[in-house]
Amino acid sequence: MKVLLAILVLVALVFWNRSKKRYPPGPKHLPLLGNLLDIPRCHAYKKFTKYSKELDSDIIYVDAAGQPIIVLSSLKACNDLLSKRSNIYSDRFHQTMSFELVDCKRLFAFQPYNDEWREARRLVVKYFTGPGKTPINNCITEFVRKALLPNLLNTPDDFFTHIRNGIGGSIVSLVYGLPTQREKDPWIALADEALACMTSTCVPGKYAVDIFPFLKHIPEWFPEAQFQKEARVGREIVARYIHEPFEASKRGMAEGTTQPSFVTRCLESLAGADEQKELLIENVSSTFAAGGTDTSVTAVKNFFAVLLLFPDIQEKAQAEVDSVIGSGRLPELSDKPNMPYLRAVLKELLRWNPVAPAGLPHMTTEDDSYKGYFIPKGSIVFGNTWAIMHDESVFPEPFNFDPTRFLTPEGQLKADMDILDPETDATFGFGRRICPGIDFGLASFWLSAACILACFNIAPELDEMGTPIPPKFEYLGKEIIAHPEPFKCRITPRSKETIALIRAGYDENSRYI
């Protein structure tokens, strides 16, 4: 009885103390549970956007059973806090399910803001954004031409798989120097499994154990402990994904069969045996190999959806591509500045359907205040990319797909970009946690789109009567990345010359790229 009374007194003191603070506006909440029951497991960013509009505030407060959640729904608020105050807004929330039970703490994207994270990021920035970007661009070009395009030509119905193999193969090569199979590559399959575990287990509000960490101690056989089985399976997959390709790269390096890569360059720079450094390289490799392609793969899948939904945009973009490259070659990354309409289409796609609508959550390491509101230490802070990209005051009629938002009346990209630019603002994160693979992602996205337009026509499927079947698209919203569910379309080469270009330099007898 005394223990219960003490708990009630403690809870009362906590709520009394909070009542003295001026928190950001938020939905009404219940005692103890707060808004826990109001946070949906799918598409939470849309619910947060709704709260923001109803409360007329770009900063809202949600209480998840005592855990403060701050949602920022404007680019200004995100920049003011996540960028300009990044010294106290760059930590990660310790999610028991993903961080501990699935062991995602080894991946630097999930790591807390500390010296180990800083060293990991320095490694990535040095290799992927430094002077050595030419090999990276060459690798992207090679995989688009030798994997993505030939596979789309040979087996177009499997285009989802081909997108993943083409873009995923390039990152496996860049990171590990390993050859990948054109179809059903085991490294890419393992990465897909691990990605599914990582992104699904870090969705806020999905698991009770993240709100009540003591639940991690209950056994798997206990009623309602299904999360323990998910954690065990996920932990095994993530461990394999982190370790196996890294060890394969090391073996290939010793045997002289591995191509120069992030791993080989990092290991060669070590002065003698250094287990701690080697572990860091292993962890960083898996992080970039997983996250470096996921946004690009999803964006290219979304590009197919846009071509299906808006055939007039496909036709206009194809005309621009043709005018730049003619009929005797394929697009190259150097063509990008000469294709303003295609660049506007891709910017609009990233705005219209953000690949990471809420991104990975930040966490505050100190108490703070903003616009007169109190933001407590330990708050989960989201930059609501979905809300930012669908702000009517910035993008009129935001649910319309309109590439001309980013073009001048003369058809050129707006030089000063007087409106938000989806390629550089919000899409890849904020502040010190911004994705270091942004250049790779945008390059692979643009080249894939340009080559698809140059080589293929994308159209809806036909029924038995030859009538086009209206395409349907579904986004379940169960993960951090908004993956589209598989859909169907007709992919046909534009000409015999196109077929010849795709087949040039393609070795049909080789299983590898």
pLDDT at position 431 is 92
Mean pLDDT, residues 343-359: 94
Measured distance CA(313)–CA(345) in Å, rounded? 8
Measured distance CA(266)–CA(237) in Å, rounded? 25
User: pLDDT tens, 489-505?
Assistant: 999 999 999 999 999 86
Mean pLDDT, residues 205-233: 87
User: pLDDT tens, 105-142?
Assistant: 888 888 899 998 888 888 887 777 655 555 778 888 98
User: pLDDT tens, 190-200?
Assistant: 988 888 888 78
Tell me which residue of 489, 492, 43, 46 sits closest to 309, measured CA to CA.
489
Residues 6+ apart with CB under 8 A from 419: 394, 395, 405, 406
pLDDT at position 287 is 82
Binned at pLDDT 50, 70 and 90, residue 37 comes out as confident
Mean pLDDT, residues 75-81: 96
Please determine, for residue 15, whether its predicted confidence score (pLDDT) is greater than 80: no
pLDDT at position 95 is 85
pLDDT at position 472 is 85
Six-digit token pair at 37? 């029951």
Binned at pLDDT 50, 70 and 90, residue 3 comes out as very low
pLDDT at position 466 is 81
Determine contact, residues 349/302, Cβ cutoff 8 Å. yes
Q: Where are the beta strands (DSSP E) in 322-440?
A: 362-363, 368-370, 373-375, 380-383
Q: How many CB atoms lie within 10 A of CB 126?
A: 16
Total count of residues recorded for the chain: 513
Tell which wins on pLDDT, 435 or 418.
Answer: 435
Percent of the chain with pLDDT over 90: 50
pLDDT at position 168 is 83
Please determine, for residue 486, whether its predicted confidence score (pLDDT) is greater than 60: yes
Mean pLDDT, residues 157-166: 91
pLDDT at position 462 is 86
Question: In the beta sheet, which residues pair with residue 30?
Answer: 34
What is the distance between the terminal CA atoms of the chain, rounded to a whole angstrom? 69
Please determine, for residue 330, whether its predicted confidence score (pLDDT) is greater than 90: yes
Please determine, for residue 232, whether its predicted confidence score (pLDDT) is greater than 50: yes
Measured distance CA(115)–CA(198) in Å, rounded? 23
User: pLDDT tens, 296-328?
Assistant: 889 999 999 999 999 999 999 999 999 999 988
Measured distance CA(440)–CA(294) in Å, rounded? 11
Q: How many CB atoms lie within 10 A of CB 33?
A: 14
For residue 476, the one-letter residue type is: L
Among 304-308, 385-389, 435-439, where is mean pLDDT lowest?
435-439
pLDDT at position 464 is 84
Please determine, for residue 405, whether its predicted confidence score (pLDDT) is greater than 90: yes
Mean pLDDT of the residues in the chain: 87
pLDDT at position 509 is 59
Among 68-82, 404-418, 465-479, 481-495, where is mean pLDDT lowest?
465-479
Is 435 flagged in the annotation as binding? yes
Tell me which residue of 386, 345, 388 sits closest to 482, measured CA to CA.
386
Collapsed DSSP state (helix, strand, coil) of residue 321: helix
Binned at pLDDT 50, 70 and 90, residue 292 comes out as low
Six-digit token pair at 177? 């120097």
pLDDT at position 2 is 44
Measured distance CA(94)–CA(192) in Å, rounded? 24
For residue 134, the one-letter residue type is: T
| HSE (side-chain half, CA atoms, 13 Å) at 400 | 8
Six-digit token pair at 340? 């303003």
72 membership: H or E segment, kind and range? strand 67-72
User: pLDDT tens, 446-480?
Assistant: 999 999 999 999 999 988 888 888 888 888 776 77
